[in-house]
Structure 1
């Protein structure tokens, strides 16, 4: 039996931030759903709340020695298998691991949560933990689809043609990420900036050193190309998922924002279960994204466990529970690229709903 996350002990969550009290009469729907989910969390074991996801991350790290050794092979089949194994493990660690760590979902201890955030986001993910948590948790989650605050505008690059944006530009994510991290260090204390640079450099150099000394790469150029190939392997679906599940849905004005449950049910979309992406990126980023935005402190496995509760409740209350297929969203963005990714999105008014 697990303790309830700290923010659930409040009366309810202010839609402008994670946590914080709000009068019961203003959020009765959210409070009722929260109680149902809270009951399930209390009845769940540590294995369900955190253990399953920790085991998946451990398995990803355990695959790395085999991947480095397979990359020694001169046979194309074994070398390709090593490349695929390393790319998949890297995606699990840097997407699933960093995402869970940013929400403190890997440990009940706040101190250990900070350690895991630094490790997964900075050492493994080549980004700054402070900026990552600020942008994702404190802005995107608190202000989901609020124009100018958490509207996913970070992922828009309107000067790029749709083909380049959707299918080529994401491959540059491994190079762009540390450069953006450096830009985010402006205004930070020298000690913090130095720490972040050293930890990001440690992650890159460790990968490079192992490719040279374990995988047997004979030149720096070939080792770097292998690093970039592994790190870019899941970049396309990573960018796609980030835009598919929010952009094109209801957008709200900062001055007339809806209550939290309406904000999340109208502005968040689930993709169907996917054997590869669901386990690589985590359920909360793929098939349980609605659940994740309603209860961001839950682990991936717990989001999957409460999914039937959330979907049933929202349908009972005649609230939207939005789902769409990956290829369907890809076709939508390809054909409506100008409207969705170039022009400013229209504001949605939920008249008569609240």
Structure 2
């Protein structure tokens, strides 16, 4: 929960490219490789220019900053879904109820908002209801969505990051160890 996310920035591109090789999707593999290289090169050059670092040091800074932010990113994705009524296989609610029960907003924190945006942090329920909306639009419709759900007796889940972290640590065994494989939930939405 705290160590594994540190290797995600290194593993993610390797796994993604490995999947494309396995599927023999050569055109997509070349596109992804070129775009990944250009993205990494441009960010490295930006860090080199802004911090006056060598290429190796700039790459290390990028890697370390991504590793550090992977911990809350992984936590946020888990906290906002696992343990909510949406995943109850025997008592799954209808679609609107499913979306109201299937996502949780975290209270605003400038660091999380800056790194991940409103749709992932404090407007996650709105993002699930209206996935095509931008971060700014999700933020604008948030009061209306909250009022609508509450008016019709539907839940509007909102918790603090540290509250969810404590809940998750306290209930880790029930939420992660005893749960069936994710393949049993595929298609539940």
Under a length normalisation based on structure 2, what TM-score does the superposition of the two structures give?
Answer: 0.82
* CA distance in structure 2 between the partners assigned to 1:295 and 1:244 by the alignment: 20
Q: Which runs of 5+ in 2 are unaligned?
A: 181-189
CA deviation after TM superposition for structure 1 residue 264, in Å: 0.8
CA deviation after TM superposition for structure 1 residue 266, in Å: 1.2
Structure with higher helix content:
2
Q: Cα gap change, 1:229/1:257 in structure 2, threshold over 3 Å: closer, same or farther? A: same
Give yes or no for contact 2:44–2:55 (8 Å, CA) kept in 1: no
Under a length normalisation based on structure 1, what TM-score does the superposition of the two structures give?
Answer: 0.46
CA deviation after TM superposition for structure 1 residue 247, in Å: 0.6
Q: Cα gap change, 1:301/1:205 in structure 2, threshold over 3 Å: closer, same or farther? A: closer
Q: Which runs of 5+ in 1 are unaligned?
A: 1-164, 346-354
2:125 maps to 1:300: no
CA deviation after TM superposition for structure 1 residue 291, in Å: 0.9
How many residues are aligned here?
178
CA deviation after TM superposition for structure 1 residue 252, in Å: 4.1
CA-atom RMSD in angstroms: 2.4
2:160 maps to 1:336: no
Q: Describe how 1:142-181 pairs up with structure 2 within 5 A.
A: 165=1, 167-181=2-16
Q: Cα gap change, 1:211/1:304 in structure 2, threshold over 3 Å: closer, same or farther? A: closer
Q: Cα gap change, 1:313/1:215 in structure 2, threshold over 3 Å: closer, same or farther? A: closer
* CA distance in structure 1 between the partners assigned to 2:14 and 2:55 by the alignment: 24
The structure showing larger relative contact order (alpha-carbon pairs under 8 Å, at least 6 residues apart) is 1
Does the residue aligned with 2:110 lie in a helix, a strand or coil?
A: coil
Q: Describe how 1:1-354 pairs up with structure 2 within 5 A.
A: 165=1, 167-185=2-20, 186-208=22-44, 215-218=51-54, 220=56, 222-250=57-85, 251-253=87-89, 257-344=92-179
Q: Deviations over 1:266-294 (max 9, x none)?
A: 11111112222123311111111111101
Does the residue aligned with 1:334 lie in a helix, a strand or coil?
A: helix
CA deviation after TM superposition for structure 1 residue 216, in Å: 4.7
Does the residue aligned with 2:157 lie in a helix, a strand or coil?
A: coil
Task: Name the larger-Rg structure.
Answer: 1
CA deviation after TM superposition for structure 1 residue 198, in Å: 1.9
Moved runs in structure 1, 4+ residues, more than 3 A?
A: 205-220, 255-258
* CA distance in structure 2 between the partners assigned to 1:216 and 1:277 by the alignment: 27
Give yes or no for contact 2:84–2:103 (8 Å, CA) kept in 1: yes
Q: Deviations over 1:128-164 (max 9, x none)?
A: xxxxxxxxxxxxxxxxxxxxxxxxxxxxxxxxxxxxx
CA deviation after TM superposition for structure 1 residue 314, in Å: 0.8
Q: Which segment is superposed worse, 302-311 or 230-239? A: 230-239
